[in-house]
């Protein structure tokens, strides 16, 4: 009787795991990760045209920590201006991976049909604010949605930023 009970418990745990379909793929090496890293280098350069070249025309930037029920986001032109202004203000000299955390590509099945992937990063910008002399070292977790055309379609930023900074840019 014990063997039958033990066998049925084992089968109950094993069969559902074979029956489930994977709904996502996670990678640590993918061309989309290289694209995001190249975009970060462009952001450090502060060249608006170079920054814009990595973004789709319908690009949107969102704050994942927004308390608003509906965050309208920031479009491409305003985002490029925001990155340029931030770079001029902060003099960011490097963006390094957070220790022991690396970029990952996550591809959900519904995005797979559209040939889109998500890249999740945990980076730390390094630099010194030109006006205040304060050192930059706040972790910046972000999600990037990469389009079929190998451009960034969406960025979701999870760094706590005051909304006032976004309105002033």
Domain ranges in the chain? 27-168
pLDDT band, very low/low/confident/very high, at 131 (cuts 50, 70, 90) = confident
Q: Which residues contact 56 (CB under 8 A, 6 or more apart)?
A: 76, 147, 149, 151, 152, 153
Q: Residue 53: what pLDDT?
A: 96
The encoded tokens of residue 34 equal 């290289």
Give the whole-angstrom CA distance, residue 164 versus residue 68: 14
Q: Residue 20: what pLDDT?
A: 39
The residue that leads in pLDDT, 155 or 46, is 155
Neighbours of 130 (CB within 10 A): 11
Tell me, which fold does domain 27-168 have in CATH?
Nuclear Transport Factor 2; Chain: A, (3.10.450)
Sign of CA dihedral 150, 152, 154, 160: positive
**How does pLDDT run across 17-61, given as a tens digit for each residue?**
444 345 555 556 678 888 998 999 998 888 899 999 999 999 999
State the pTM of this model.
Answer: 0.73
Q: Which residues contact 38 (CB under 8 A, 6 or more apart)?
A: 54
User: With 90 as the cut, is the pLDDT of residue 158 above it?
Assistant: no
Beta strand 104-108 pairing with 92-97: unpaired
Q: Residue 60: what pLDDT?
A: 96
Q: Which residues of 94-118 are buried (b: 16+ CB within 10 A; e: fewer)?
A: ebeeeeeeebbbbbeeeeeeeebbb
pLDDT band, very low/low/confident/very high, at 167 (cuts 50, 70, 90) = very low
């Amino acid at each position: 009787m014990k063997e039958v009970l033990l066998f049925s418990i084992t089968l109950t745990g094993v069969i559902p795991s074979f029956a489930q379909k994977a709904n996502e793929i996670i990678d640590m090496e993918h061309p989309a990760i290289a694209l995001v890293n190249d975009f970060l280098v462009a952001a450090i350069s502060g060249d608006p045209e170079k920054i814009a070249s990595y973004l789709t025309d319908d690009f949107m930037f969102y704050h994942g920590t927004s308390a608003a029920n509906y965050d309208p986001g920031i479009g491409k032109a305003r985002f490029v201006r925001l990155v340029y202004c931030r770079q001029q203000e902060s003099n960011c000299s490097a963006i390094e991976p957070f220790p022991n955390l690396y970029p990952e590509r996550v591809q959900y099945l519904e995005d797979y049909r559209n040939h889109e992937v998500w890249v999740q990063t945990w980076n730390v910008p390094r630099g010194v604010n030109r006006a205040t002399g304060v050192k930059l070292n706040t972790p910046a977790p972000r999600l990037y949605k990469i389009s079929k055309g190998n451009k960034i379609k969406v960025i979701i930023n999870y760094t706590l930023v005051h909304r006032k900074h976004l309105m002033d840019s």
